[in-house]
Amino acid sequence: FSLFARHRIRGRMLDYIYKNGTDIPVADSAWAESRAQFNSLVTEATDAFEAADRTFLWEAVRNAVHRLPPKEQQVVDGIYMQNREPKELALELQVSKTYIYKLQKTGVRRLRGMLSRLMHERRE
């Protein structure tokens, strides 16, 4: 994926989470950088409640990513948070690029599942 596509996908994930009402946490440098970008969105929020809600959603996404199996977590984090190329991740993890795409697809599906449960809980 191009850098633009990755940012668009990351933005869509956050939009989906925000729109449907969900949450996530993070610690490493890539997440910290993404958190800074996310915080710039929060400062554009019109009121304190919206800013708090966005922060809560960010923490939910981060928690969900950290619940993924290790390889899926590495791939999702590498592609979406660190903007790394699948080829680079494949070399690092000593697997094929096709396997990286499979891990990415599976990881995103798991995240959607985890976040859909959170959204359901939040609505109740």
% residues pLDDT > 90 (the chain): 32
pLDDT of residue 119: 76
For the chain, which domains are there?
A: 3-123 (1.10.10.10)
Q: Residues 30-56: pLDDT tens digits? A: 666 666 666 655 555 456 677 777 777
34-42: which pairs have CB atoms within 8 A and are 24 or more residues apart?
34/10, 34/81, 38/14, 41/14
φ/ψ of 24, rounded to 5, equals -170, 160
Which CA distances in Å does 3 have to 58, 83, 84?
A: 21, 7, 9
61 within 8 A of 23, measured Cβ to Cβ: yes
